[in-house]
Amino acid sequence: MSVETRLLSHPTTQIKGTVQLTGSKSESNRALIIQALSRGVVRIENLSNAADTVIMQNSLVQAASDSDDRITINIGPAGTAMRFLTSYLTLGSAQFTLTGTNRMQERPIGILVDALSELGANIQYEKKTNYPPIKIDGGFVQTADKVSIPGNISSQYISSLLLIAPSLKKGLQLRIEGELTSRPYVTMTLNMLLEAGIKHSWTDNVIEIPAQKFLPATIFVEPDWSAASYWYAIVALSKEGTILLPGLKAHSLQGDIAIVNIMKHFGVASSFHEDGLRISKVSGGSDQKLFDFKECPDLAQTIVALAAAIKRDISITGVETLKIKETDRIAALKHEIEKFGATIIADGETYHVKTQDVYYPAQISIDTYEDHRMAMAFAPLALVFDKVIINEPLVVEKSYPEFWQHLQDHGFQTK
């Protein structure tokens, strides 16, 4: 097979071993912004080697360059970098153009730009209103300290504003309108700021962060729970499976630790030890039908692919933000599971996965839509189908560069 495809199979369907996961991309990107704002007072350990984190790191270095007063930063497909840098660059001393891939230029940024503009920032759209690329004049004079932002959009907009809040001369009072989606990610941002000495208050739907200085600190980035979710699916689909995931803790800043409770319903048990998390296939599970991904949307693809493969009807909610990710993930999931007889039926904001017509061809070919999570959510299905072809497999470098090697280390045959 060429580098444009990867053929997967697993002759024994038995899984056992240890997988050392990279640092959390979500924590790493927040830590890098905090470190930059602290002017090096904050140190980072166990930084992720994911492509998105490398892009963030390189972009921050580029932004700090004093060689030019007009700097163009291309973040490619890195959505977190686009959102976080939009706020961060307003504090710089140059004029910045922030752009990305064609898909990135289709992902809205207007709500964040409007909030920053209310604070006094000068940001212009270079092409289409509400979408990148954008032109940012650094060094803005803050004219207000209060903004409101909808809670049912990407939490990255909220985190982006909170990260720069202590560096604003007037601080920030942020009011969240309506129900908050992905609350754990906002909590993660505030807790990481607290690790660096930044205090806040959160009363009802209002978060306040006064202007203040970062204190010397070392932020240790926990391994990535999103990456762990694929090993949960692998164990669930195995005949016998036990995997140790070093460094993962029962008390995590990451919302995707929700996979522990979700996978109880699919026959995977979790136990925490000094050396990390051990997950094992067990008998049982449950017949739970409805799963809410409002606080952990990145887990939805893993669970939908798993449910379709084992012919289990489920319903999912809390996934509206998936439509503006690397691809429209709902549409992508529907298209791919239909290749072996499953489907997704929309019912308002609830989606029903129907599996009564599932069949098991000897080989299936999965498209990835430039989306790392599509590749990793469907790769475990090689434990059910004789052969699984993953198209454009290098997309995994965005968050989990060692993914294919780790599969080989645990009995998957890849070509």
Among all residues, which ones are annotated catalytic?
Answer: 298
Helix (H, G, I), strand (E, B), or coil: what is residue 295?
A: coil
Is residue 120 within 8 A of residue 141, CB to CB? The reply is: yes
Q: How many CB atoms lie within 10 A of CB 68?
A: 10
Ramachandran area for residue 247 (φ above 0: left; ψ -120 to 50: alpha; else beta)? left
Is residue 149 within 8 A of residue 175, CB to CB? The reply is: yes
Q: Which residues lie across from 147 on neighbouring strands? A: 174
State how far the Cα of 31 lies from the Cα of 219, in Å rounded to an integer. 7
Is residue 354 within 8 A of residue 345, CB to CB? The reply is: yes
Is residue 80 within 8 A of residue 25, CB to CB? The reply is: yes
- Residue 15 sits at φ, ψ, to 5 deg, of -125, 130
CA distances from 157 to 24, 115, 242 (A): 19, 9, 38
State how far the Cα of 106 lies from the Cα of 101, in Å rounded to an integer. 9
- Residue 243 sits at φ, ψ, to 5 deg, of -130, 135
State how far the Cα of 43 lies from the Cα of 41, in Å rounded to an integer. 7
Enter the tokens of residue 23. Answer: 């640092």
- Residue 382 sits at φ, ψ, to 5 deg, of -65, -10
State how far the Cα of 337 lies from the Cα of 50, in Å rounded to an integer. 27
Work out the angle at residue 280's Cα, subtended by the Cα atoms of residues 277 and 284, and round it to the nearest 5 degrees: 130
End-to-end CA distance of the chain: 6
